[in-house]
Structure 1
Amino acid sequence: MPAESAPQERVWMAFPTAGYSLGDTAAEAEEARATWSAVAHAVSDFAPVTMVVDPEDVRDARRWLSVAVDVVEAPLNDAWMRDIGPTFVHREDGTVVAVDWVFNGWGEQDWARWDHDARIAAVVSREAGVARIGSQMVNEGGGFHVDGAGTVLVTETVQRDPHRNPGWSRAAVEIELARTIGADHTIWLPRGLSRDSERYGTRGHVDIVATFPSAGRVLVHDQRDATHPDHAVSEEIRTSLADAVDARGDALELVALPAPRTLRDGEGWVDWSYVNHLVVNDGVVACAFDDPHDAEAAAVLREEYPGREVVGVDARPLFARGGGIHCITQQQPAPLTVS
């Protein structure tokens, strides 16, 4: 699996449909449509975007999306393409193929429905015109990050979740990651952020905790306020990464990415995170929160992704629904030319 910073051919998304992401009121539905569309249009400045839309929502999608966004119709339960879609990887000959994980509603959560979403990876693979690699492991794209050089970050609470992969050992997970995404070395983090571990969370996705801006470097969610429960999580993650090495056997350079200064919303402690950005060709589409730390986080991203334009999109409506910008996007890398 190439790094997210590798050249991309396209980015895939899914339009919010009736259910948790769309909300209970007309105003909430319009807010969701507006936010997903804002992300799509920001991404489309750097790469083509295809939006999967439930047939019931095509009229609303056409109302919100510009002609810059392609539309593909398929039944949906929800709109978190990072998790329901495939993971794109390269074969040795440089061609692109798609890994189709088992999706079971983030560990068979009682509020989730996934009869349609479990088939979206196959739909996207077919529409992308690439071969599909099946997997028996329950996994989501938000549950891991790679450096493009053989190292993968995962959490104990996702891949070894008894509601996802009961009885799977670390070794079994690592063997499957090696087979599917070519991971030579797995770094196991203990958990994710606190709110993400509550009822409507993913039980520990890594893509709001840590990511690789480049091989050997890790951006780490830095909750500086000791009153927030994620202050302890940040310390635990940093300790785990400080003791780790990458696939080359080298120690990792850790870069603190500040958490927003905002600590709570109407539901409790926030899990807002600038880690949850999308790198896309010459750009970085970043989460913004109308927060005093937005500017500092954007400056860190500009430094870590030199030569790329950092564009912020208000991600508060996304996090209110359980995710962020990275969660609703899935990049398709460009084929490699192998000599």
Structure 2
Amino acid sequence: MGSCLSAQLKLQTSCHDGKVASATTPPRPLSQDDILRSTNLKSFSFNVLKTATRSFRPDSVLGEGGFGMVFKGWIDEQNVTAAKPGTRTVIAVKILNQNGLQGHREWLTEINYLGQLKHPNLVQLIGYCIEGDKRLLVYEFVSRGSLENHLFKRGCRPLSWSQRLKVALGAAKGLAYLHSPEANVIYRDFKCSNILIDYEYNAKLSDFGLAKDGPVDGKSHVTTRVMGTYGYAAPEYMASGHLSERNDIYSFGVVLLEILTGRPCIDKNRPSNEKKLVDFAKPYLTSRRILQIMDRRIDGQYASDVAMRVAALAKKCLAVRPKDRPTANELVEALEQLQEPQKGSCIRRK
């Protein structure tokens, strides 16, 4: 899961070209030096990060994405030096794969956004390393890993219903901040592998290599080359390249379906009519039909009326017309109401 959009979209796509065609986007630092100077991030040497991760040992690997491998390490933040395992600050280090799907442009984009945006539901970027052809990013360590792992990885403890609702709310809050006038960012790659979960099950959005400045001057969208993740990207964006905040809302709806059903958005191992989760699940998003496809691992944990309300919210997010989708703030409001102690009978299937 999580491959960049490719020829499957029947559009010219690129995972290395993130320029916005519109001339109306607000100014941001353009040069590498300007971007690096505009942040308060720490600059690490490669040797420090190599020591901090115990030479990027296989047993330090936390995961792998389009950017490259992610390793666990330990640093002394104050002195910008490596620390002994189990001491000081725990970090996650991404090291750019030169042959990967994302490159230097995305590395800089990540620094440009996370170096300036601060919110409890965004992962914290601590620093970076640039030496020769080496590109690394240093993040806070988020202990429970990704939502993707908890929903789909064998051997990973599945989230309870209440934990899923908490994660969904935290992710919505992160998205609402990005869409706010303060940040004015279109995420463009909202998916469960980019939602990290901390020890207390707070969600933190990560991976901003594909993010874009939002529209200004009353414009409804910016026009871009299509980039993102197949199965999560909104249909109008795939068809035209028109990018708006409501594209992120569509992706949020896909994640809600994954949370409800425990199924990934694309599953090639299922029958042809079930391979794409949105197409399969949409007919079930009305009234009690959603109960037929709920994740069996959370049987007995939810009230039927609450599950139906989450399904109805997902359906709104997946509306064909972008203007019919809720805003991120409306998502937060709806999900906050569902965090209250649930009333009604819980459903347990035989």
TM above 0.5, yes or no, is no
**Larger Rg: 1 or 2?**
2
Structure ranking higher in strand proportion? 1
Structure ranking higher in helix proportion? 2
TM-score by length of 1: 0.25
